[in-house]
Structure 1
């Protein structure tokens, strides 16, 4: 078990370097926010287009299949289950009687319109439940997968540098932008240390071949409590070591001791991505509204 490589989401793909890696982190962040915002009050077709667009971006970038399987395998299973369950649940229209035919078709009884699309015993799929299933499954996929794709192709240093640059206008409101960026950088760098400590403690427990059945519930709980206490102690020790290392290097404050983790530069690819983003929002405002 290797927690540093088996996480289903949030890992950074160092190799190969794709065109997504080369984009400016600020451009990718704006695209990510667009994927997170545009599904709001949108129709089902637009959400399906967003899901297909996210998959198309991944395929054109040439991301290896191993990363796709690890990042999106479980997500596809969750979205598929949510789609099937939502299709067969009650459509949520809690009235005893209602017109099943739209007003535009009320005077044409020979039409092939059907409100119930599929019925298997007591279970049935209606037009409303199908629409709800599409909306739920696609929004789950788009929100989680787009965030995962952003983390997959953007290094932690690039994320913090892009956020700090985009938050510069907040300095006029006396908001400590640099301190926030530094805290985020240290947090992202501390996550692998947390995973490493958890992995080491888990291996130390498994290598001792403990018979959990003989221990009983109370002693098992006490043992895991000791492990959790040891984990917290190790993490606090790691945090103290990081603080001492920063003090030794003369770090006093983010404004006086600036460390440039990543140089932000806009290239031709970034300009093309921003131009496509304008067309993307235009399509959303024209065709993406919910009916």
Structure 2
């Protein structure tokens, strides 16, 4: 079991260097915020368009198949299951419902071919509301999770903090410690891989001991897992202390006194093209995506 490969959420893909890697972190952040805000008060059709755009971006940038399968495959399965369950639920998760139409002897001929009930096959009962709710919930989960994951996948933690530091620099006038906050964000993003590595090592140590859990029983099994959790926290605190000591040895006392320029933020032709496409994106959202 390799957690660093089976759970690649939030990890940075260093190789291959795709088209998304070349974009300025600020431009990618603008696109990420657009994907997070565009589904709000939008039609189900527009949300499906957003899902399609994310898939197209993944294919165009030539992200490796192994990463694509791990990043998008499980998420597609989960969102499809949620959509199907919501669609098949009684009128959009409503347990108690009452007839929308009068008794059959009072029915009048309909002037149009509109039908609120789309499928009525016994237990298979789908209405327009349940289908609409299923599409909304499934697409919303996919867009929020995958767009954020794609941003972290193609943007180095240093690039994220450099872009945020540049965008939030006006807040320094209000005495807000932007540099300290972003330094904490950088360290936390770098710490994700260390946490997964420690969990992976502990799980391997348990497997090599071939513990018979059935003979231990529930009480002793819980005691074993408590020892494992305690060891995990101890190792993580030790790693954090090692990082702090390394920073102090290198003279890092304060972010304002020890500035490190990770990236030279400069918009090039590809960045301006992405910004132009972002304007077209929001034009389409305002024209065709409103409810």
Partner of 2:115: 114
2:80 maps to 1:73: no
Q: Aligned partners of 2:74, 2:10: CA distance in 1, in Å?
A: 13
SS at match of 2:125: strand
Alignment: residue pair count: 285
Matched, 1:36 2:74: no
Residue number in structure 1 paired with 2:18: 18
Distance of 1:145 and 1:10 partners within structure 2: 10
Q: Deviation per CA, 1:74-95, whole angstroms, max 9, x where unpaired?
A: 1111111111111111225766
Contact 2:179 2:256 in 1 (8 A): yes
Distance 1:267 1:84 in 2: 44
Q: 1:262: how far off?
A: 2.2
Which SS does the other structure have where 1:255 is aligned? coil
User: What SS does the aligned partner of 2:193 have?
Assistant: helix
Residue 47 in structure 1 maps to residue 47 in structure 2? yes
Q: Which runs of 5+ in 2 are unaligned?
A: none
Kindly indicate whether the alpha-carbon contact (under 8 Å) linking 1:8 and 1:74 is maintained by their aligned counterparts in 2.
no
Give the aligned partner of residue 155 of structure 1. Answer: 156
* Deviation digits for residues 225-265 of structure 1 (CA, Å, limit 9, x no counterpart): 11111111111111111111111111110000011222212
TM-score in terms of structure 1 length: 0.93
Partner of 1:244: 245
- Within-5 A mapping of 1:199-278: 199-278=200-279
Q: Hey, what's the Cα distance between the residues in 1 that align with 2:87 and 2:154?
A: 34
In structure 2, C-alpha distance between the alignment counterparts of 1:53 and 1:237, rounded to whole Å = 43
Q: CA deviation at 1:110?
A: 5.7
Alpha carbons 2:11, 2:193 under 8 Å: kept: no
Q: Which residue of 1 aligns with 2:98?
A: 96
User: Per the alignment, in what secondary structure is the counterpart of residue 181 of structure 1?
Assistant: helix
Question: Which whole-Å CA distance do the structure 1 matches of 2:236 and 2:11 have between them?
Answer: 21
The CA distance in 2 between the partners of 1:97 and 1:252, in whole Å, is 70
CA distance in 2, matches of 1:123, 1:235: 50
Look up the match of 1:175: 176
Deviation (angstroms), 1:97: 4.3
2-structure distance, mates of 1:270, 1:153: 15
Q: Distance in 2 between matches of 1:132 and 1:36?
A: 18
Q: Secondary structure at the match of 1:256?
A: coil
Which residue is 1:136 aligned to? 137
Post-superposition CA distance 1:43-92 (Å, at most 9, x none): 11111111111111111111111111000111111111111111111225
CA distance in 2, matches of 1:11, 1:119: 45
- Aligned residue for 1:119, secondary structure, equals strand
Alignment of 1:2 with 2:2, yes or no, is yes
RMSD across aligned positions (CA): 1.9
Q: What displacement does 1:108 show?
A: 7.2
- Structure 1 280/107 Cα, relative in aligned 2: closer, same or farther at 3 Å? farther
Q: 1:96 to 1:4 in 2, by over 3 A?
A: closer
- TM-score, length basis structure 2: 0.93
Shift of 1:204: 1.1
